[in-house]
Amino acid sequence: MRIFSNDRKQVRSGWKIILVFVCFFVSTTIMSVVFSNIYSAFVFMTNPALLSKQDEGISYITEQLLSMSSFPGAFLNLIQCILMIFFVVLFWKVLDRKKVKDIGLINIRKGWKDLFYGLLFGAISFTMVAIILLCTKSVELVNGFNSPNFSRTLFLQLIVFIFVGINEELFARGYCMTVLKQTKIAWIPILGSSIIFSLMHSLNHGISLLAYVNLFLFGIFMGYLFIKTKNIWMCIGYHITWNYFQGDIFGFLVSGNITDSIYTIRTINSNIVNGGSFGPEGGIVVTALLVVTILITYRFIPYRA
């Protein structure tokens, strides 16, 4: 029995996915450690007073590295995204010897309309979630709609969310779904990639069973969209504005992550409706919306030739 290759002498899809992820994990771990040490040394050199308050200094450094609102945290996120994109493209070209357009990353001049519609629908979708949560009084708006809070970090976080959208869709949909087609079982690519996508968030703060379900449903929705449109631009667009409107516009937690935002939302009581410490993606409002969007995709978006 062949463990690493199939009858067509192709490296098995599971090993391809594991190889990409292991290389990504090892490289990001090394980069994070190196950058964290350099940044720590810089902070203590420029703020000598922190040397006498080491616990306070370490706490400050940790907060900066974990926050997408700070340059160090945003930089680490961008490095992680770039490394994932790099390894997906590298192993696709080395192991499958095909062009990146074959994993859905077609020329933007052909895919810009899909990107635009994805950005639009992602923004509308999460705005609906926010309105429902506000109307049901699961959350409340701290600063009124007439009192938005704009800051430079909103642009920094937009850049991060753009790369997060590209990196997660290129890996989970573009790469995983495409290589899983080797199995010749029709349902494996979309289900397998959705499971992988949900498990990728296992270390996020506040993860719960319903959050896993919603992440899985989001993966099904994105996967189905990828199959029907035959490229990942609409998926990327939807992913970007879904995250950005969730965190930077309305001020919700984004898969457990805190961001700076135009509006500030206060969760009245953490519950199954608002998702608690994971944010709306851990609540039943998002579950309902994802089920509806999957049905709409099935009914109204045609398969492309």
11: helix, coil or strand?
strand
Domain ranges within the chain, ordered by starting residue: 13-300
Say if residues 106 and 297 touch (Cβ distance below 8 Å). Answer: no
Name the β-bridge partners of 5.
11
Give the model's confidence band at 50: pLDDT under 50 very low, under 70 low, under 90 confident, else very high: confident
pLDDT of residue 184: 79
Q: For residue 115, which amino acid is it?
A: L
Residues listed for the chain: 305
Q: Which residues, 6 or more positions from 168, have their beta carbon under 8 angstroms from its beta carbon? A: 197, 200, 239
pTM: 0.94
Q: What is the pLDDT of residues 135-177, one digit of tens each?
A: 999 999 998 888 899 988 999 999 999 999 999 999 999 999 9
**Mean pLDDT to the nearest integer, 214-233:** 97
- The CA–CA distances, whole Å, from 277 to 69, 168, 206, 274 equal 19, 22, 5, 9
47-82: b (≥16 Cβ within 10 Å) or e: eeebeeeeeebeeebeebbebbbbebbbebbbbbbe
Q: How far apart are CA 29 and CA 8, in angstroms?
A: 35
pLDDT of residue 1: 47
Q: What is the pLDDT of residues 260-296, one digit of tens each?
A: 999 999 988 889 999 999 999 999 999 999 999 999 9
Q: Which residues, 6 or more positions from 110, have their beta carbon under 8 angstroms from its beta carbon? A: 231
Please classify residue 37 by burial: count the beta carbons closer than 10 Å to its beta carbon, then call 0-12 exposed, 13-18 middle and 19+ buried.
Answer: exposed
Stretch (H or E) spanning 281: none
Around Cβ 119, how many Cβ atoms within 10 Å? 21
